[in-house]
Structure 1
Amino acid sequence: MTVSPPRDGEPPVEEPQSVQPTSRPPCPRCGTPHEPNQEYCLECGLRLPVEAKGLVPGLGRAWRRQLGWYPGDWVWPSLLALLIAALAGIGAAAFVSQDQKRADYVTGTSPFGAPSSTIPPPPERTVTTPTVPLTQTGTQPTPPEQTPAPALALKEWPAGKSGWTVVLASLPTANGREFALAQARAAEHSGLQAVGIIDSSKYASLHPGYYVLFSGVYTSLDDASTAATTAHSRGYKRAYPTRITP
């Protein structure tokens, strides 16, 4: 503080000294300036925060001074990644453009012009239609006539004779004889021998009203039982031996 010389009859006046700005950071609690490396505030005793050193903390402090807020240290890697991506995109675009110009230049200056496709078209396929040889009279030969398959020969039960047989199925006469014949053909195709049809109303030992599908004529029960076992193996699980009496 400086004192100006007094005028006549006036007391001396002290002039306030100008406060020189300091670069020392203030205490967060009391605002007293402290040295950068000072650990405690000499005025209030608060433990002072230690300022981080390095490039990123320095950039953060500069950001705060300019904008008054700071998003965080993550912003710097993000900005660096964006910068690298932008540079890579610019480089790729320049490379593609240069490569395209080079290809156009080669095509325009080549004495052979633009390259053409080297894949040949598929060859044409010629379909040959077989021809039928003609006879001496100029007409096509007549195809041979097909001989129809021989009719099914059913086993006839001996007239007036009793014996043993294997009953494969009892088919109601209401279904018709054609149905019974179809079942007889199926039995023969399965490999059974001497398959026939009996009208049960003509035999005393059978219940009337059925076409009895049988296989074989045997003189003993043992032979008929053996044949019934064979019928079981051919798919006729309900086949059984029985005696036929006129």
Structure 2
Amino acid sequence: MTVSPPRNGEPPAEEPQSSEAAGRTLCPRCGTPHELNQEYCLECGLRLPVEAKGLVPRLGRAWRRQLGWYPGDWVWPSLLALLIAALAGIGAAAFVSHDQKRAGYVTGTSPFGAPPATIPPPERTTTMPTVPTTQTGTQPVPPKQTPSPTPALKAWPAGKSGWTVVLASLPTANGRAFALAQARAAEHSGLQAVGIIDSSQYASLHPGYYVLFSGVYTSFDDANTAATTAQSRGYRRAYPRPITP
């Protein structure tokens, strides 16, 4: 830039810049034009500011021109991420809305209609048995059922000698009721002809016991076979024994 000397006390007039200088950047200190990528001013030696290039610097300069301040380059990635998230939300909402409309269309056009929310269970009807009534209107009294009598235990034939299977020898001190209970248990196990002998009344037995026996046999072999059966029914100590009055 050149300045003309003053004329008649008038302030010096600035001469217009040449077309070559008008298209270049000026030095901030001396105003000398310099090239775009020039590092130092050739007149005053000032280190010239380097103007960054690219999209982000241009956006930053535009931000400063509009608002007068600039938060930093980090604002652009943040705005881009926010924009992507907003677009994704809009797309998801549109997809859900389309899916709901399609489901409503399928339900409305189905020949079977919308399925019921719950299927009620079938009703159960119970038929109460009818009780015949008499002419007077009162119900008949059912007949009383008498329990069948408990079969008696096997008694040893009076005055007879023979063989039997001794299932257990129970001390008389335990009482006859205990011996009877053991005899009934032997019957429930499936043994036949179960009875009780008072050992004090027979010469071949030791006195002081209730002898729990099963069967009356004429030979040792028959009694021994029956003893094997008794052992298989749970009486492992069963053995054949002669009985003599």
User: Which TM-score band applies after superposition, normalised by the shorter structure?
Assistant: 0.5 to 0.7
Q: Distance in 2 between matches of 1:161 and 1:147?
A: 37
**Counterpart in 1 of 2:91?**
88
The corresponding residue for 2:65 is none
- Gaps spanning 5+ residues in structure 2: where? 3-28, 40-46, 48-53, 62-69, 102-115
Measure the CA separation in 2 of the matches of 1:63 and 1:175: 114
Partner of 1:222: 221
TM-fit CA distance, 1:78: 5.2
* TM-score for both structures, normalised by structure 1: 0.54
Q: Equivalent residue for 1:155?
A: 154
Q: CA deviation at 1:23?
A: 4.5
Q: How does 1:62-73 map to 2 (within 5 A)?
A: none
**1:179 partner letter:** F
Match in the other structure for 1:20: 34
Q: Distance in 2 between matches of 1:83 and 1:151?
A: 93
* Letter of the structure 2 residue corresponding to residue 227 of structure 1: A
The answer for the alignment partner of 1:167 in structure 2 is 166
**Corresponding letter in the other structure for 2:233:** R
Whole-angstrom distance in 1 between the partners of 2:209 and 2:56: 109
Kept in 2: contact 1:63–1:70 (CA 8 A):
no
Q: CA deviation at 1:138?
A: 4.7
| Deviation for aligned residue 1:230 | 1.0
Residue 163 of structure 1 contacts residue 244 of structure 1 at CA under 8 Å; is this kept in 2? Answer: yes
Give the Cα separation in 2 of the matches to 1:236 and 1:190: 10
- Percent of pairs identical after alignment? 65
User: Could you tell me how far apart the structure 2 residues matched to 1:151 and 1:123 are?
Assistant: 50
CA–CA distance in structure 1, aligned partners of residues 57 and 167 of structure 2? 107
CA contact (8 A) 2:56 2:73 kept: no
Partner of 1:44: none
Distance 1:227 1:60 in 2: 113
SS of match in other structure, 2:90: helix
* Pairing 1:238–2:237 present: yes
**Pair 1:212–1:64, CA change in 2 (3 A):** farther
Deviations 1:32-53 (A, max 9, x none): xxxxxxxxxxxxxxxxxxxxxx
Gaps of 5+ in 1: 3-14, 26-30, 32-57, 100-116
Partner of residue 210, structure 2? 211
Equivalent residue letter for 1:198: I
Q: Deviations over 1:174-227 (max 9, x none)?
A: 333223222222222322111111112322333333221100112222111100
For 2:221, give the aligned amino acid. Answer: D
Question: How far does the alpha carbon of each residue in 1:26-70 deviate from its partner, in whole angstroms, 9 at most, with x for none?
Answer: xxxxx9xxxxxxxxxxxxxxxxxxxxxxxxxx7778899965565
CA distance in 1, matches of 2:59, 2:216: 117
Distance 1:60 1:198 in 2: 120
Distance, in Å, in 2 between the alignment partners of 1:169 and 1:190 is 14
